[in-house]
Amino acid sequence: MDSHRQLAPCLVGRGTVSNFRDMLRALETLENITYRFIVDGDLVEEGDAQLVKLMADPESATLIVNGCLFLNVASFRFLDFERDPSDMWRFILHGDGTRVELIALESSEPDGDTVRPHLLLEEDVPDFETMLLFDDDEDDE
């Protein structure tokens, strides 16, 4: 048994992660959330949303629009997670001067009927320039 190998972190109940894969794993447990968007310490926006898409794509934005959260972990440097005093899960995504705080809400759907957000990793991102070229070729016919 090799006791000298580097061990991966083991975080239980609270922690900080910066690896995209770890951030995705923690966040894919979310469905419905209350969010707060904070810029330079000032609250800019808050509300409720449903996590629709979770991705790690350096070319896409994180969007909260029309009650839907399209969350790109590449928009942030690291993620803190913990249970708050009211026993709700709290996730804080830290960017450069920005924070998005997410608090998990109780699911309104019975267990088994839950639809998880679609995960999109960088290697799964379509090449939109190629798609546009293919689309342009069809116009020439």
SS3 44: strand
AA identity, residue 28: E
pLDDT of residue 133: 46
Tokens representing 15 are 């922690």
User: What pLDDT, in 10s, does the model give residues 99-128?
Assistant: 999 999 986 555 555 555 555 554 554 444
Q: Is residue 8 included in any domain, yes or no?
A: no
52: containing domain? 15-140
Q: Is residue 22 included in any domain, yes or no?
A: yes
pLDDT of residue 19: 93
User: What pLDDT, in 10s, does the model give residues 51-84?
Assistant: 999 999 999 999 999 999 999 999 999 999 999 8
Q: Is residue 28 included in any domain, yes or no?
A: yes
Q: Domains in the chain: how many in total?
A: 1
pLDDT of residue 128: 45
Please, where are the H alpha helices in the chain? 20-27, 128-140
Q: Is residue 5 included in any domain, yes or no?
A: no
The pTM is what?
0.74
Q: Is residue 6 included in any domain, yes or no?
A: no
